[in-house]
Amino acid sequence: MFRCVRWWKKVPTRMGFEPTRAEHNGLAVHRLNHSATSSCRSMRRSQSSLSSVQALRLKMVDSQYYLPNDIGISKLDCVEAFRLLSPQEKMYAHYLSRASWYGGLVVLLQTSPESANIFVLLQRIFRKQNPVQLEQVAVEAGLSSEEYMAFLVYASGLYANMGNYKSFGDTKFIPNLPKAKLKALVWASQAFQEQPAEMEVLWDSCSCLLYSLEDGQKQLGLGDKGITTYFSGNCTLEDAELAQRFLDSKKLSAYNTRLFKRVNGEKSSYEVRLASAVRKGQDCSECTSCCGTFIFEDKEFTVKRGDYASLMEKVCYYLQQAQAYAANDNQKKMLEEYSRSFTLGSVEAHKEGSRYWIKDKGPIVESYIGFIESYRDPFGSRGEFEGFVAVVNKAMSERFASLVSSAEVLLPELPWPREFEKDTFLKPDFTSLDVLTFAGSGIPAGINIPNYDDIRQSEGFKNVSLGNVLAVAYATQKEKLTFLQEEDKDLFIKWKGPSFEVQVGLHELLGHGSGKLFVQDDKGKFNFDQSKVINPETGEPVSSWYRDSETWDSKFTTIASSYEECRAECVGLYLCLNKQVLSIFGHEGQDAEDVVYINWLSMVRAGLLGLEFYTPESKSWRQAHMQARFVILRVLLEAGEGLVGLEEVTGADGKPDARITLDRSKIHTVGKNAIHRFLCKLQVCKSTADVEGGRALYDNYSAVSDSSAHNFLRLRETVLLRKEARKLFVQANTRVSGDNVELVEYEANQAGLINSFVERFQDDAEQLEADLLEMSKRDAPCWSSCFSSQDSET
């Protein structure tokens, strides 16, 4: 979604926006003086032998696991957009928002074993005492003002990321105050005073993992790469590949599944869980063929329903309430299919709902909900739950409509043969929206969905740009801009927002919306002429393609999301050079040239910033969009001829720094040619299902080492030294009052963000918290080394 722009078996669909800088408050350095884990102690011992610069770098590297006290928090303003809705539209938006928020809680269970328990711990504390009331308790418990603020920042971060791992980068974050101080605050809280036994059990269930920074818990990953709750802790990449082959054989999508492996002696068996309100043992006359026990490649697979059942029930309830206020039959049928999907665990029903969604052209209230983006599944096939509700911004939407109208003229400009483009461009809805609700692990700036290959290829899709997100995500102060020449900073601040708007539009519409997949269906029919289509990279006839049950995600798995984001980003860079495109967005003459320059400069800078999201120990990337931008940086550096400069320098503060330069006179020549060649290679591998060639190409440019012309491993330390923290967003709530729906706003600070979450779930707080704890407890053995066939039942 300029896929999460977050910017996601799909063709990934959203684009991750670049973080805004927040200076560190110094507590991260003091953090090294309290022993949260044994790894912290060993780190302290090793520091004495380091040079001062190395020691500084070590401390700042450690700070990536904390949120700074002065992290930016912004209000997502939708007051005017909501005010202009009719009473019926407000009711529709309200119930869709309720469905989205309850579904968004699924992300806690998709993130880490401890996230749901931490969430409940915080909710219980703040339900009894809001942040202002709790402050005096904190003082009396011995916390300094900085330590109490660190606690509020941690709580805000957990709510905003819907878990204790960053939604953008997948790195764990822990409280930036000593564990003993946090425990003292919990013990002094009113919630503990009223229910000491329950609160102590809750603390004990999550406090160890809450602070742990052991190697396997620092980031999300599969096997020894990190932690994931999409798979049981004993699953490996080989297990994920086996399960994918099984799902393909049953024509089941992985989107709404999790995989659990059981070991009994030397025998392994697998449980595939479908997210559904229907539980194991309940009568269900529909869709029964997918459930049951099957033997596949000499392994036993059991497919069950009922994952996240209590939350899916709430989602279905609110979707059904929203139907009464739908504006047309397409919306009603869409909601019916979504409800059927979440009731039965049927991805096919969700696809049907998505078809009705595509047909619902230009709605005033736009929404989408479900298991959508597969960025955080280490294997790249399972979707994280998200739901959004937004209101159309008519003025900005007119520009995007003009871009859609020009798409058929612009698509032939892309650097691949006509046969590699879709037979017919299916004009999508492309609107600018002001977000009312975005529930999930993070908020994107643009979206291109649905992610189902078959629908996107032959039926269509929608694009949205989230205007009120863009409005606050890129507010930048000159003194906080890193890695740019001083003479570029004013221009960057002036044109960053407008240039990104152009990039979002091109990325979503003509990036994710372009390109053909060559497919042979189950009857042997091809969607291309085998005898005539030539691979432009080899000069030979096309020799590989997708079979009926294969998709982009199932073939390219672990690199699919980032590869597709890279392709879409390249399309944006390539087509922003077109004067017609710039004119659509109101840029002419010198202004247009400045927009192009800043768009390309932003991409080069983002490629350097992307190093924050690379983990040297596992040689892996933790964020699809930032990996994609680093790849583009490598491509442009490789183009040579002075197009891009990257040098290590010493900053004015005496610390390591870096500077990037871009020769704007060579963008239309050297730069365009480099992107032309690379983009063609990306598309050809994608179209032809050439996994081996595509992976070799992408892995080569993704490599981070100290042996190339630029020491990227050392540059990574500099990026971490000066790293930026992403803003957190405070979202409004809606509340029914008589026949009206009211918008409830909150202040743009930690207290406002926390209060918004407490009030969001206040109607059924105790039952909801009990359900979350029960789901978490039931699955807890799945992430222990001794998980056996007797440990877990759905």
The vertex-417 CA angle with 416 and 421, nearest 5°, equals 80
Q: Is 668 annotated as a binding residue?
A: no
Q: What is the dihedral of CA 433, 437, 441, 447, to 10 degrees?
A: -20
- DSSP alpha helix (H) spans, 649-711: 672-687, 691-702
Catalytic residue among 508, 550, 564, 717: 508
- DSSP alpha helix (H) spans, 345-483: 347-359, 394-410, 453-458, 467-473
Q: What is the dihedral of CA 334, 336, 337, 340, to 10 degrees?
A: 160
Element (H, E) at 729: strand 728-730
Given a contact cutoff of 8 angstroms between Cβ atoms, the answer to whether 439 and 314 are in contact is no
List the one residue out of 617, 610, 648 whose CA is nearest residue 631: 610
313 is catalytic: no
Residue found by looking up tokens 């680093």 in the block: 630
Task: Enter the tokens of residue 142.
Answer: 């011995």
Given a contact cutoff of 8 angstroms between Cβ atoms, the answer to whether 30 and 394 are in contact is no
Cα separation values, 496 from 452, 475, 478, 500, 596, Å: 32, 9, 12, 6, 10
Q: Is 587 annotated as a binding residue?
A: no
d(CA 205, CA 15): 36
> What are the DSSP calls for 548-600, one per residue?
TT--HHHHHGGGHHHHHHHHHHHHHHHHTT-HHHHHHTT--HHHHHHHHHHHH
Q: Is 676 annotated as a binding residue?
A: no
d(CA 327, CA 363): 8
Rg for the chain (alpha carbons), in Å? 25
d(CA 564, CA 552): 9
Annotated binding site for Zn(2+): 507, 512, 565
Q: Could you give the residue numbers annotated as active site?
A: 508
